[in-house]
Amino acid sequence: MSAAIDYNNAPSAVRAVFDDIKKTRNVPDVNNFWKYLARDPELLKRTWESVKEVMRPGALDPLTKEMLYVAVSVTNGCQYCIASHTAAARKAGMTEAMFGELMAVVGMANETNRLANGYRVPVDAAFEQ
C-alpha cells in the first residue's frame, strides 16, 4: 500500500477532485492532505466538497475562516493542520500582528476554559438560551 496517491497514478475519480482543488485554489498541485485522503476516493470527494462549501466567502470572509481553522488546529495540537492553515491564513492576508493576536486569544481561551472547569462556574442566567 503506498501512503500517498499522486496525480499520475490516480484513478479518474481522484483526478477529478484533484483538478477541482487545483482550479478552485489556483495552485499547481494539491498538498499532501489530499494525496493521502485519495486512498479512499469517496472520503476524498466528500471532504473536499464539504471544505469547499464551508470555506467559501459568506457571512464570514476567507481570512476569518482560516484563522478560525488555525485556532481549532492549535487547540487540538494537529501539527499538519497548524502548518497548512497558518500558511493558508497568511496567503489570505494574515499579517504577523494578526498572527500574534490570534495566538494570544487562543492561548487565553485555553487558559480560561480550564479556570471555568476547575472553579465549576455555573452558567449565568443571562447566558441561557
Report helix, strand or coil for 122.
coil
| Residue showing cell 481570512 | 63
14 binds a copy of itself (CB under 8 A): no
Binding a copy of itself (rule: CB under 8 A), the pick from 6, 58, 92, 93 is 58
Give me the half-sphere count of Cα atoms (radius 13 Å) on the Cβ side of residue 82: 12
The stretch near a copy of itself (CB under 8 A) out of 8-16, 17-25, 93-101 is 93-101
33 near a copy of itself, judged by CB under 8 A: yes
| Secondary structure letter of residue 40 according to DSSP | S
What span, in angstroms and rounded, lies between the C-alpha atoms of 90 and 67?
9
Q: How remote is the C-alpha of 54 from its chain's centroid?
A: 10
Restricted to residues 63-92, the positions that interact with a copy of itself (CB under 8 A) are: 64-65, 67-87
**Range in contact with a copy of itself (rule: CB under 8 A) among 8-16, 17-25, 29-37:** 29-37
Site for a copy of itself in 35-54 (CB under 8 A): 36-37, 39-40, 42-43, 46-47, 50-51, 53-54
By CB under 8 A, is residue 10 in contact with a copy of itself? no
Tell whether residue 107 is a contact of a copy of itself (CB under 8 A).
Answer: yes
* Size of the residue set binding a copy of itself (CB under 8 A): 78
Residue 8 to residue 28: CA distance in whole angstroms = 14
CB of 29 to a copy of itself, least distance (A): 9
Could you tell me the sign of the dihedral formed by the alpha carbons of 110, 111, 114, 120, in that order?
negative
